[in-house]
Amino acid sequence: MKLKAFFPFLIFCVISIALYVGLSLNPGEIPSEFIDDPIPEFSLPVVGGEEVGLTTADLKNEEGVVLVNFFASWCAPCYVEHPFLMELQKRGYKIYGVAYKDKAHATNRFLKEQGNPYFDTAADNDGRVAIEWGVYGFPETFIIKDGVIRHKHAGPIMEMQFEDEFMPILESISK
């Protein structure tokens, strides 16, 4: 019996361990490149208008924690998370909404029918600002404090994600 003959077995063991670890990872989730970076420079119009709705300065001047939520009325998962955003608003979180590539009337109807959890809403009509923010899937939610991005979540935010992912960060930055 030669040690050499065990190589295939050992290599396979390493691969199995990697695969086992891999099972608990989510390959589709990409962390934001902007964690702990200041928010990108941008300026967005209001929904259905030309006048300036939301800019970098608005977010920088905020005291305390704010959430920025990219959404669209055509995005199915956005409907899923919407009730929870309403809940967050009730709990006193300040949420800014960015309507991504959405028609103004559709956005307005969406907010009218589903409720409006946003402190303010702006429209990203050509989707450029979303790319500036590194947004790739909808909805996406950012945690921002003092003009710095602290966290991003891609996909709908529900009670579970909020408790597991957001609360620890919110607690650590409010200290």
Partner 1 sequence: MNKIMIVIFWLLMGTSAFAVGVDEKRLSDPAEEARAQEIMKQLRCLVCQNQSIVDSDAGLAKDIRIIVRERILAGDTDQQVLTFMTERYGDWVLLKPPFDGATIILWLSPLLLLGVGFIIIIRNQRNRKMATSAPLSDEEQKRIAQLLNENGDN
Partner 2 sequence: MIAELGHFALILACSLSVIQGVFPLYGSINGNGRMMGISLPAAYGQFLFVSFAFAALMYSFIVSDFSVANVATNSHTLKPMLYKVSATWGNHEGSILFWALILALFGAMVAFFGRNLPRKFHVTVLSVQAFVGLGFYLFLLLTSNPFERIFPFPNEGNGLNPLLQDPGLAFHPPLLYLGYVGLSVTFSFAVAALIEGRVDAAWARWVRPWTLLAWCFLTTGLTLGSWWAYYELGWGGWWFWDPVENAAFMPWLVATGLLHSAIVVEKRDTLKAWTILLAIIAFSFSLLGTFIVRSGVLTSVHAFATDPERGVFILLFLFLVIGGSLFLFALRADKLQPGGLFAPISRESMLIINNLLLSVSALVVMFGTLYPLLRDALTGEKITVGPPFFNMAFGSLMIPLIIVMALGPMANWKRADLMGILSRLKFMMVVSLVATLAFYYMAGGGAIMAAVWLGLGMWLLFSTLYEWSERIKLFKGGALKRILRQPRASMGMTFGHLGLAIAVLGMAATSYWDSEYQGIMGYGDKATIAGYEVTLNSTDGIIGPNYTAVRASFDVNKDGQKVTTLEPEARVYMTPPMPTTEAAILSTFLGDLFVVIGEANSENYDLWAVRLYFKPLQAWLWTGVAIMVLGGFISLSDRRFRTGTIKGKK
Q: How far is the CB of 88 from partner 1 (least distance, A)?
A: 26
Choose the one of partner 1, partner 2, none that binds residue 5, judging by a C-beta under 5 to 8 angstroms depending on kind.
partner 2
How far apart, in Å, are the Cα atoms of 10 and each of 13, 19, 22?
5, 14, 18
Is 31 among the residues that bind partner 1 (CB under 8 A)? yes
| Choice from 136, 159, 163, 167 touching partner 1 (CB under 8 A) | 136
Helices marked H in 24-94 = 56-60, 76-90
Distance CA 53, CA 82 (A): 22
45 binds, among partner 1, partner 2, none (CB under 5 to 8 A by kind): none
Sign of the alpha-carbon torsion through 156, 158, 160, 163: positive
Tell me whether residue 1 or residue 160 sits nearer to partner 2 (CB atom): 1
The only residue of 132, 145, 147, 148 in contact with partner 1, by rule CB under 8 A:
132
- Alpha-carbon distance 155 to 137, whole Å? 7
Chain positions 64 to 123 lying near partner 1, rule: CB under 8 A, are 74, 101
Burial class (CB in 10 A: 0-12, 13-18, 19+), 15: exposed
Give kind and range of the element (H or E) at residue 97: strand 94-100
Binding site for partner 2 (CB under 8 A): 1-2, 5-6, 8-9, 12-13, 15-16, 18-25, 27-28, 30-31
Query: Contact 59/66 with Cβ under 8 angstroms?
Result: yes
| Least distance from partner 1 to the Cβ atom of residue 123, Å | 15
Q: Which stretch binds partner 1 (CB under 8 A): 49-57, 77-85, 112-120, 127-135?
A: 127-135
Q: Which residues bind partner 1 (CB under 8 A)?
A: 28, 30-31, 33, 74, 101, 126-128, 131-134, 136-137
